[in-house]
Amino acid sequence: DSGVTQTPKHLITATGQRVTLRCSPRSGDLSVYWYQQSLDQGLQFLIQYYNGEERAKGNILERFSAQQFPDLHSELNLSSLELGDSALYFCASSSGGGSNTGELFFGEGSRLTVL
Amino acid sequence: KNQVEQSPQSLIILEGKNCTLQCNYTVSPFSNLRWYKQDTGRGPVSLTIMTFSENTKSNRRYTATLDADTKQSSLHITASQLSDSASYICVVSAWKYGGSQGNLIFGKGTKLSVKP
């Protein structure tokens, strides 16, 4: 158990809909990262938050947004869903967030299926 | 451009055999290199983290090597078990984040299948 909690584990929805994925980092970790992993693909970095502020942005679509709350949990919002958004979405946390990221701990992921 | 390339893309070995996975990187300035194991449909789990000054690091049957001069790393698995079947991901961290990926650059992974 990494200590990173993601909900929901599975989600099935229709095209055009909006969903929210939630992540609780390990106790004490200030950084939260979101990754997308499509079938048989590598992990694609979406966005990083550090102590409530956006720290780095990756290949995140404009239809997607995220935030980190004062209690350090994070939410990833996916809107106007398309079939191609079907993927595993992973959250990871680390204690650092600056130029030297500490060890990364991943959650078990949220599997999104868009029909 | 910061990149991490892994080879082979996939590998099938028999239970009990050894294998070596490769990782080449062009990341600068280098901070550390990590190997993760990802079981199918699960989150990646850290195996090792190596800094510039470390040449070898072991974690049970996993041994990682790092050659910072040639910018190469390998992950050697000894006496493979069926539970070693997974994807192994090489991740390199840069001292300063740059580009669009922050300061962690992921390889695409090597998919290992261990057969009985």
* Length of chain A counted residue by residue: 115
Confidence of residue B24 (pLDDT cuts 50, 70, 90): very high
CB B77 within 8 Å of CB B17: no
Q: What is the model's pLDDT at position A32?
A: 93
CB A68 within 8 Å of CB A49: yes
What token pair was written down for A112?
């999104």
How far away is chain A from the Cα of B48, in angstroms, using its nearest Cα?
9
Say if residue B80's pLDDT is above 80.
Answer: yes
Q: What is the model's pLDDT at position A2?
A: 87
A112: nearest CA partner in chain B: B41
Q: Tens digits of per-residue pLDDT, A1-54? A: 889 999 999 999 999 999 999 999 999 899 999 999 998 778 888 999 989 999
**B83: amino acid identity, one letter:** S
Q: What is the model's pLDDT at position B98?
A: 45
The SS3 of residue B84 is: helix
Q: What is the model's pLDDT at position B60?
A: 93
Q: What is the model's pLDDT at position A97?
A: 61
For residue A101, give the nearest of B43, B93, B109 by CB distance. Answer: B93
How far away is chain B from the Cα of A48, in angstroms, using its nearest Cα?
8
